[in-house]
Copies of this chain bind each other. A is one copy, B any other.
Amino acid sequence: MTDTEPDPGAVPWLSAEEQHSWRAFVRMHLKLSARLAADLQAQSGLSPADFEVLVALTDVPEGRVRFQDLAKGIDWEQSRLSHQIRRMAKRDLVAREECEEDGRGAYVAISGHGRAVIGAAAPKHVATVRRLVLDGLTPEEFAELGRLSAKLADRIDRAEP
């Protein structure tokens, strides 16, 4: 993108140094997400979305949570989560439990099979994360990456859509 300049008065283009950093950041994200997804699929037969939902369900008491709270917790559109849960229920990873008496909607619960699958997948995923990320940085660098990430995630949460 060297031959396209914004209007004068518009938001300033990235400087060469900023562009260098931004491209490194994008490159890292693309490579890391592709690799983590490939390893997760090959080792455990899970997509990143499957993994995210199963982890969220092992984080709550009894492995069950209201559908709406799950959507909010993992920051997904309800329609996307609804499709995902339907697919995961077919594979017996989760179950959708209707709960009409209190009028506050359905629960999603992890199944026994889901617990076994995530229990086997998680250590392999941790090994990949260690190998690709933590082992490549000093503890101080990894902590700094976490701090900068939290700062950005909070900013994005506060930004107008």
Contact = CB atoms under 8 A, between A and B. Distances in A.
A32 B150 CA distance: 12
Given A11-B127, A126-B13, A144-B148, A24 B55 contact: no
B132 A6 contact: no
Contact of A156 (B13, B28, B52, B157): B28
B126 A14 contact: yes
A134 interface: yes
A156 to B, nearest CB: 5
Contact of A6 (B3, B24, B123): B123
A26 to B, nearest CB: 8
Interface residues of A, number: 65
Choose among A20, A29, A58, A126 the residue with the greatest number of B CB atoms under 10 Å from its CB. A126
Interface of A: 1-4, 6-7, 10-14, 17-18, 20-22, 24-25, 27-35, 38, 52, 55, 58-59, 75, 118-119, 122-123, 126-127, 129-134, 136-137, 141-153, 155-157, 159, 161
